[in-house]
Structure 1
Amino acid sequence: MDIAGPPRRRLMLGSILGLTMAKTAGAQTQWPNRAIRFINPGPAGGSGDVVARIVMEHVGATLGQPVVIDNRPGAGTNIGMAAVAQSQADGYTIGLGSIAANAVNKWIYPNLPFDPERDFAAVSMLVLMPNIMVVPPRLPVRNLAEFIAWCRANAPISFGSVGAGSSQHLAGAQFGLATGVEMQHVPYTNSGQLNTDLMEGRTQVLFQSVSAVAEMVRAGAMRALAVTGIERVSVFPHLPTLKESGVDITSTGWFGVVAPAAVSASILDMLQKAVVTALADESVKQKLIGLGAVPRGSTREEFQRFMEAETLKYRDIIKASGASAN
């Protein structure tokens, strides 16, 4: 006896079973079908954290799933980025790429817990983050030329940063190389103390993110001398760049989105499109500009090439400055 019944019934059962399996497979492969974790390897409230929250809220709305920020600071971004590199390559964990993690740390940390070129897939650039050069208000200088003359008469000059390999550190190292001023790097784990020590004169200069010092500059608690990037910032439109002031360097921090290296191209493409869509939104754009950031979406290939170029650029700067994480 045919236990499956007559041919027509077998055909109907087979069709129903096939449809059920197709729906189940679709539900399993549809991405995203749950929240996405975004690892920020810096502190809560830092510039990277603020940028990530602004952009990822819109990215989550585009993808139809929340993007949850997971702050994993420490070891110059290495703790958080190691967590990204070691995550399952399913698109549900992504991270905040930066000048430190994806260009500089390989030159200053002898035992990096990841390979920045092998272990990450580029998704998109987010923003350029030019710093501004600030000094204590009691320092007897009003512009960059006066500051350089004062430095040469009072060297060595100490400058603070949030750690070796940070954009603040790199800007100070480049400034010393370009001007011949002897610069002593003072790394901090507390960004609030970094700013306090400058205002109270325990350090003589900072190359700090615009968002971190804008209110203190406006209040007269710090004096801004120049912008480290390639162009002036809208927050302080009358502040010249270092190049305009006669020091031929640019030093710009940046943030982007990266994923574990083995994430599929289709998921990377969806992430890239969601990020670029967010950066094109006028509300998102204005919030980022208000931080002193320059929104800069990109293709995956463009961001990959950018990181490779930054890695080569800072190899030579680190070597010349002798900087290290030790």
Structure 2
Amino acid sequence: MTQFARRAALAGLGTLLAAPAVRAQSWQPTRPLRIVVTYPPGGVNDIVARIVAEPLSRELGQPVVVENRAGAGGNIGTQHVLQSEADGYTILLGTTALFGVNPIVYASSGIDAVRDTTSLGMLGQVANILSVIPGKVEATDLRGFIAEAKRRPMVFGSVGNGSSSHLSAVVFMKMAGIEATHVPYRGSSPLVAAMLAKDVDFGFDTSATSTAHIRSGAFRALAVTTTTRASALPDVPTMAEAGLPGYDLGIWFNLAVAKRTPAPAVAKLREALGKAMAPQTVERLRGAFVDPVSVPAAESDAWIAASAGRWQAIAREANIAAD
């Protein structure tokens, strides 16, 4: 074989080897995608997913369907995502509870969202709000409520055992030096219904699902769980402002896929989500009382891991076990 022939053969081989690599660098969905929400319809997780699904669908050129798979504190839906084919078509709506609490509360499940998923990007954050029920609770501020809770038995509701709602209450009661009986519900909608029915004295739920009832007077908001006031309720103080300095527990949402999802699919989904989170989408989220989180998609895995570590420490200290 001449030197020219050898070079031509090597060049041809190089082209053949490079072609699959070039094709592998791009990915475009050819069928509908799913966002799996691990809580029932009607709660803030469901609301956030449905707001984001519409613009994400436009960017990907395929329908994006929201699918609710509730149970086991969110682990049923999470497990479904992890067991589905890791091809980019099944997406998890991630939450603080899934990443930061469940690995402790459901340790025997073997599910660890920080370890097992790749983040596509952040969607927003909300504060939990400590709301009491007028007619059942006399107090109108946090200090008065703590004093009242020390005088008589109380019952509080949460969106589920081990949820951020539950842990927000656990940390509050520990810092305030009070005790109350816990009634876990299966999501925000059942909790709100129980609070409206006055089945509990107080509860922690997000600004997304509590604000309308606070504004109507059905709930009395005493404090928010973040270090800054919720934009939806600027007159409600933070826990620190109300008398519990050092209290800081915010709730965030992201989209994620199984860790083994091919890099081209992850890259395309991140790009599409970044475009989907346009100003009009952010405004729709604000309308649902969800504030934006400024974390670049490429840095969101590290940001989530740090936040999850903090929540896991709280869950360990609280010694919370699954129902």
TM-score, structure 2 normalization? 0.87
Q: State the match for 2:109 in structure 1.
A: 112
Q: Does 1:258 align with 2:256?
A: yes
Amino acid corresponding to residue 281 of structure 2 in structure 1: V
Q: For 2:165 and 2:112, how far apart are their aligned partners in 1?
A: 23
Cα displacement (A) at 1:63: 1.8
Matched position secondary structure for 2:199: coil
2-structure distance, mates of 1:301, 1:282:
20
What secondary structure is seen at the aligned counterpart in 2 of 1:111? helix
Is 1:135 aligned with 2:132? yes
Aligned-pair CA distance for 1:127: 1.0
Matched, 1:247 2:244: yes
Aligned to 1:9: none
Q: Secondary structure at the match of 2:204?
A: strand
Aligned counterparts of 2:251 and 2:23: Cα–Cα separation in 1: 41
Please report how far the alpha carbon of residue 289 of structure 1 lies from its aligned counterpart in structure 2 after TM superposition. Answer: 1.0
Q: Which residue of 1 aligns with 2:283?
A: 286
Q: Count how many residue pairs are aligned between Structure 1 and Structure 2.
A: 305
The change in CA–CA distance for 1:184 and 1:36 in structure 2 (over 3 A counts) is same
Pick one of 207, 219, 222 that aligns with 2:204.
207
- 2:91 maps to 94
Partner of 1:4: none
Matches within 5 A, 1:110-259: 110-112=107-109, 114-138=111-135, 139-155=137-153, 157-189=154-186, 191-248=188-245, 249-259=247-257
Q: Does residue 308 in structure 1 map to residue 305 in structure 2?
A: yes
Looking at structure 1, the residues matched to 188 and 296 of structure 2 have their Cα atoms a distance apart, in angstroms, of 32
Q: What is the alpha-carbon distance in structure 1 between the residues aligned to residue 187 and residue 123 of structure 2?
A: 25
- Deviation at residue 178 of structure 1 after TM alignment: 1.2
**Bigger-Rg structure (1/2):** 1
Counterpart Cα distance in 2 of 1:207 and 1:309: 23
Question: In structure 1, how many angstroms separate the alpha carbons of the residues matched to 2:322 and 2:298?
Answer: 30
- Per-residue CA deviations over 1:34-54 (Å, capped at 9, x if unaligned) read 221211111112211110111
Q: Do the aligned partners of 2:102 and 2:112 also contact (CA within 8 Å) in 1?
A: no
Q: Give me the whole-angstrom Cα distance separating, in 2, the residues matched to 1:271 and 1:61.
A: 12
Whole-Å Cα distance in 1 between the matches of residues 127 and 274 of structure 2? Answer: 20
Tell which deviates more after alignment, 247-256 or 311-320.
311-320
Deviation at 1:95, TM superposition (A): 1.0
Structure 1 residues 116 and 192 mapped into 2: Cα distance closer, same or farther (>3 Å)?
closer
Q: Secondary structure at the match of 2:109?
A: coil
Gaps of 5+ in 1: 1-17
Per the normalisation by structure 1, the TM-score is 0.86
What's the CA shift for 1:243? 1.3
The separation in 2 between residues aligned to 1:197 and 1:48, in whole angstroms, is 19
Contact 2:27 2:268 in 1 (8 A): no
**Secondary structure of 1:60 counterpart:** helix
Q: Is the CA contact 1:41–1:80 (under 8 Å) kept in the aligned structure 2?
A: yes
| Distance in 2 of aligned mates of 1:184 and 1:288 | 33
3-state secondary structure, aligned to 2:124: strand
One-letter code of the match for 2:257?
A: A
SS of aligned partner of 2:239: coil
Measure the CA separation in 2 of the matches of 1:80 and 1:135.
Answer: 31
Distance apart, 1:276 and its partner CA: 2.2
Q: Deviations over 1:150-189 (max 9, x none)?
A: 111224x321111122121111011012111113321112
Deviation at 1:26, TM superposition (A): 5.9
Q: How does 1:260-275 map to 2 (within 5 A)?
A: 260-275=258-273
What is the match of residue 296 of structure 2?
299
Structure 1 CA distance for aligned equivalents of residues 53 and 170 of structure 2 = 32
Q: What's the offset of the Cα at 1:88?
A: 1.3
CA RMSD of aligned residues (A): 2.5
Q: Is the 8 A contact 1:177 1:321 kept in 2?
A: no
Q: Which amino acid aligns with 2:250?
A: T
Deviation at 1:148, TM superposition (A): 1.1
CA deviation map 1:225-255 (0-9, x unaligned)? 1111221122211111111112121121211
CA distance in 2, matches of 1:99, 1:61: 27
| Paired amino acid for 2:272 | A
Q: Which residue does the alignment assign to 1:78?
A: 75
| Deviation >4 Å, runs of 4+ | none
Q: Write the deviation string for residues 62-91 of structure 1: whole angstroms up to 9, x where unpaired.
A: 122221111111111111110111121211
Cα distance in structure 1, aligned partners of 2:80 and 2:267: 22
